[in-house]
Amino acid sequence: MKMSVGRFVAKVCHALVAMLLLGCCPSCSADYRDRIVHTLSRQLPAIPSVSVTDADKFLNDLKLSPLWKVEKNRDGKHEARARSIGPDDPFDKTGGQFLFELFSNPTMQLSKDWRISNRYISGNYTVKNGGFASFSAIIVFTKPTDVDFCKDDGSVALEVHESYEKKIGPNSHSTLAIRLSKTHDIYLLVREQGEDTARTTTFTKLPALMQAVASVSALPARYRVAEQYKRFIETFFQFPLKEMEVKRLPGMQDRDMFYGYFKSKPDTSYEGINIRISHPVYCNGECTRDFSRLQKAEYLGKPYYDDDALFFLIEDNAVYLLPEYDKQFGTFSGKNSFEGTLEVLNGAGKVLYKTKDKFKGWER
């Protein structure tokens, strides 16, 4: 996918502002909550009631859902991130939305220039009243720290924190925690970044967020993923489904996105799905760094029936070359691409898919 220099620079700037703070897991957020620059008090809007009783099933159902990405944080704890979708063009004014918002709309239309994100929704941070830089929703399975909890009566005192400035600005962030179980430490963390003093996005999106969580907690004891999420699957793939399918979307600075599905087999684990790219000469073996790909690994869960469809999506797959090959294959320095080996593995290191493809190297 080619783009003008101006558009590329805009994408980089937009990503830097939006990702400045969101790269940290919720358990590490204390490092970035330096000072309180604003506090607001208000009542929660009307939201569905959720009380998870079976924590293991709830986690497995989140893993099975293509609308959420389940990964592990630095502490080895599972967390589920609500996937979002939006136009790839940074100048597009329509903005993004959560995948569950898109597919709950009976008249939904998929943009031709779409991109799914596992991390957050990018907003228009130039809008001061009601605008936001980024917005994310994460379900964690441990009691979080350095967040603001809503009280039993629905009241919230939400603090806005700033890491760099003395007043609220585009990088200012707040995190609201809502408990999802009376018997387990399961919480929904709603994080908004931006200079909106009313935290409009947090309270506007909360009802739909809780409805999406409630729908997962209310899933039946057994179901087929391919039927439960048929509308999603048929939007991105063709029926009848193959045994597996892997697709590729070009990413910024050639950090490409790979997504697809497996038809589950009883003797195969789909936990810790990750992408490995390799070349024996240009990368001296693996081109992707093992700690990076394992950090982004996705946990697809255990389906209730065999031959079910398990979706995965791994973003930002950077190819690291040996320095002497940047002039030939580097994103900025080189004009050529090389043929490397692409593998999809599970967390045990078993190769589930292998092919050859063309790649360029990522340069800082």
Q: Is residue 364 assigned to a domain?
A: no
Single out the residue in 189, 217, 245 at which a domain terminates: 217
Residue 163 CA to residue 35 CA, distance in Å, equals 7
CB-based burial label for 195 (10 Å; 0-12, 13-18, 19+): buried
Q: Is residue 186 part of a domain?
A: yes
- Cα 46–chain centre separation: 26
Q: What is the pLDDT of residues 303-327, one digit of tens each?
A: 999 999 999 999 999 999 999 999 9
Last-in-domain residue among 178, 195, 217: 217
CATH number, domain with residue 252 = 2.60.40
The pLDDT value given to residue 88: 74
Residue 139 belongs to domain spanning = 5-217
Average pLDDT over residues 346-360: 98
Same domain? For 150 and 234 the reply is no
Q: What is the pLDDT of residues 243-282, one digit of tens each?
A: 999 999 998 899 999 999 999 999 999 999 999 999 999 9
The pair of structure tokens assigned to 130 is 């009601």
Q: Residue 329: left if φ>0, alpha if ψ -120 to 50, beta else—which one?
A: alpha
**Percent of the chain whose pLDDT exceeds 90:** 77
* H/E run at residue 227: helix 225-228
Rounded distance between C-alpha atoms, residue 42 and residue 158, angstroms: 8
pLDDT value of position 325: 97
Predicted pLDDT at 89: 66
Q: What is the mean pLDDT of the chain?
A: 89
Supply the Cα-derived Rg of the chain in whole angstroms.
21
Q: Look at residues 190, 217, 244 and tell me which one is the last residue of a structural domain.
A: 217
Distance CA 100, CA 137 (A): 12
**Within 105-190, where are the H helices?**
none
pLDDT at 20: 44
Contact (CB, 8 A) for 26 and 73:
yes
Number of domains forming the structure of the chain: 2
- For 188-222, what is each residue's pLDDT tens digit? 999 999 999 999 999 999 999 999 999 999 999 99
**222 burial class (0-12, 13-18, 19+ CB within 10 angstroms)?**
exposed
Predicted TM-score of the model (pTM): 0.89
87 — pLDDT class (breaks 50, 70, 90): confident
